[in-house]
Amino acid sequence: MKSRVLIGLAVVGVILVGAGIVVMFGQSQPLWSDDEMAMLRSLSIDSLPALPPDPSNRYGDDPAAARLGEKLFFDVRFSSNGQVSCGTCHKPELDFQDGTPLGHGVSTTQRRTMSIVGTAYSPWLFWDGRKDSQWAQALGPLESAVEHGGNRTFYAHLVDQFYRADYEAIFGPMPNISLLPLNAGPVADPDAKAAWETMTSEDQEAVTRIYANMGKAIAAYERLIMPGQARFDAYVQALNASKTDQAASILTSDEQAGLRLFIGKANCTQCHNGPLFTDNHFHNTGVPSVATLPEDTGRAQGALQVQHDEFNCLSQYSDAKPEDCAELQYMIAEGDELIRQFKPPSLRNVVGRGPYMHAGQFTTLEEVIAHYSTAPAAPVGHSEIHPLNLSQEEIWQLIAFLGTLSGPVNAEQQ
Ligand code: HEC
Ligand code: HEC
């Protein structure tokens, strides 16, 4: 009797183990828990909200402004040597960056060129967030001695000469600036600076208004530059539709393992989260400094600069009401934790976009992930990351996963 019961139990056991094996191997994809599925959905491009208006730029969604902005973006006449446009460093075919450690305009910058894709969603612009809108940002490189090398009166004359009809159709009548100096602005060049100081404040304001409107047109164009669907997004769509077999054919097992690390053990989503894979905030991740460059304190200097920026959300050139400027009004402006904090770039299209980090410190993604794995102490301030001690296989799996974030970039006119 006893032995029959035992045999019976053993048979049941074998059946159960067999069923378990069928479940394990019949399952063609790793199982994601409800929490993990919620995380995957939040990273998918389908979670990107409709682009909110920029209250500081009332022309931001004007198609005519975007058309003018696109022309200005690629016009090399807007530079001191007639050879540099925004597109020189932000190349559409390279995810709107340039593939070099530092940007090269009329001279060389001290940081790496950032991609522009999806930055309409970013409340802060630049690695250190020293600008709070796309239009205010665009006015930085134009007057930078190492990027376009020009000044605002020079640019206002060019708009008057080559784009007057386009300009007036959007912004209204162009003031008469024909008698103003050819080169004047609050820039490093001593002659242009001296000429600027001889101008009346009314003339300075009229020129600065034209200059700010150039930025607003460029921003209207940049607002259209958005990432498209990547393989990762198709994977999440298939999982959402319970098409698990189809999902398994979209990502390889290494890519799925990399995704599991990314949202789990490696904790990348602490900072690279949301559909653009950035929290648009600032972090010190212990990226090494570059001996040949001056010390870079990142957000510590950027926060002070944006507060005093001539074109910030609260400025006279902004179209926003003070209550629209909450980001600026309530930002953290001081504190030791700001030292060497930088903005995490979006990880969409990150493969093939090296070198990486704010001064191109790492040539390959392998070096990037090795940095996260060892988490060295920050050169200045405190690093927020902790050693992950990843195996070589896990490093490759994370890189494989990052490859699933590549997709087309849309910059079409509407
Ligand atoms: C000489 C190369 C160069 C030129 C020319 C240039 N940029 Fe940049 N761009 C850079 C660099 C370098 C950075 C990062 C600089 C920093 O953080 O200090 C950057 C950052 C940006 C960002 C910030 C992106 C983000 O995620 O915060 C935007 C937007 C941008 N540039 C737009 C423009 C526009 C518009 C123009 C033309 C008016 C322009 N750039 C001209 C090199 C260039
Ligand atoms: C504590 C916040 C934080 C965490 C956690 C984090 N990152 Fe980053 N990431 C950043 C910041 C900030 C930068 C830019 C740093 C700089 O340039 O100095 C960055 C840059 C990168 C870059 C370079 C992108 C480019 O265009 O230069 C890659 C790739 C990257 N991170 C991937 C990852 C991966 C993979 C993980 C998980 C292993 C991860 N990050 C975890 C904040 C973080």
- Whole-angstrom CA distances from 257 to 32, 267, 360 are 11, 14, 28
pLDDT recorded at residue 82? 97
131 and 246 in a common domain:
no
245 and 112 in a common domain:
no
Give the Cα separation of 196 and 180 in Å (integer): 10
| Pocket residue to mutate for ligand 1, from 95, 109, 131, most atoms within 8 A of Cβ | 109
Cα 54 to averaged position of ligand 1 atoms, centre (Å) = 19
* Cβ-Cβ contacts under 8 Å for 399 (sequence gap 6 or more): 258, 351, 365, 366, 369
Q: Which tokens is 86 given?
A: 């925004």
Q: Which tokens is 366 given?
A: 């392998």
274 and 252 in a common domain:
yes
Tell whether omega for the bond before 175 is within 30 degrees of 0, i.e. cis. no
Q: Which tokens is 354 given?
A: 């090296």
Domains: count for the chain: 2
pLDDT recorded at residue 413? 53
Give the Cα separation of 246 and 240 in Å (integer): 11
Domain boundary among 222, 254, 279: 222
233 and 210 in a common domain:
no
281 and 190 in a common domain:
no
Domain boundary among 182, 203, 222: 222
Report yes or no: 299 and 282 within 8 Å, Cβ to Cβ: yes
pLDDT recorded at residue 171? 98
Ligand nearest to the CA of 150: 1
- Whole-angstrom CA distances from 385 to 110, 193, 284, 297, 409 are 25, 44, 8, 18, 31
- Cβ of 230: how many Cβ atoms within 10 Å? 18
Query: Which amino acid belongs to residue 55?
Result: P
- Whole-angstrom CA distances from 345 to 96, 111, 339, 374 are 13, 13, 18, 21
Cα 236 to averaged position of ligand 2 atoms, centre (Å) = 23
Give the Cα separation of 154 and 159 in Å (integer): 9
Check pocket membership of 372 for ligand 2, CB cut-off 6 A: yes
Q: Would residue 138 count as lying in a domain?
A: yes
Give the Cα separation of 305 and 331 in Å (integer): 12
Check pocket membership of 399 for ligand 2, CB cut-off 6 A: no
pLDDT recorded at residue 21? 46
Check pocket membership of 358 for ligand 2, CB cut-off 6 A: yes
Give the Cα separation of 216 and 394 in Å (integer): 45
Residue-number span of the structural domain to which 99 is assigned? 63-222
- Cβ of 30: how many Cβ atoms within 10 Å? 13
| Atom of ligand 2 at shortest range from CA of 340 | 18
Ligand nearest to the CA of 348: 2
Check pocket membership of 390 for ligand 2, CB cut-off 6 A: no
137 and 282 in a common domain:
no
Ligand nearest to the CA of 354: 2
Q: Would residue 322 count as lying in a domain?
A: no
User: What tens-digit pLDDT sequence spans the chain (414 residues)?
Assistant: 445 544 554 544 444 444 444 444 444 545 899 999 999 999 999 999 999 999 999 999 999 999 999 999 999 999 999 999 999 999 999 999 999 999 999 999 999 999 999 999 999 999 999 999 999 999 999 999 999 999 999 999 999 999 999 999 999 999 999 999 999 999 999 999 999 999 999 999 999 999 999 999 999 999 999 999 999 999 999 999 999 999 999 999 999 999 999 999 999 999 999 999 999 999 999 999 999 999 999 999 999 999 999 999 999 999 999 999 999 999 999 999 999 999 999 999 999 999 999 999 999 999 999 999 999 999 999 999 999 999 999 999 999 999 999 999 987 654
pTM over 0.85? The answer is: yes
The predicted-structure confidence for 51-100, as pLDDT tens digits, reads as follows 999 999 999 999 999 999 999 999 999 999 999 999 999 999 999 999 99
pLDDT recorded at residue 30? 53
Q: Which residue has the tokens 């507060």?
A: 307
Q: Would residue 42 count as lying in a domain?
A: yes
241 and 189 in a common domain:
no
| Atom of ligand 2 at shortest range from CA of 114 | 26
Q: Would residue 217 count as lying in a domain?
A: yes
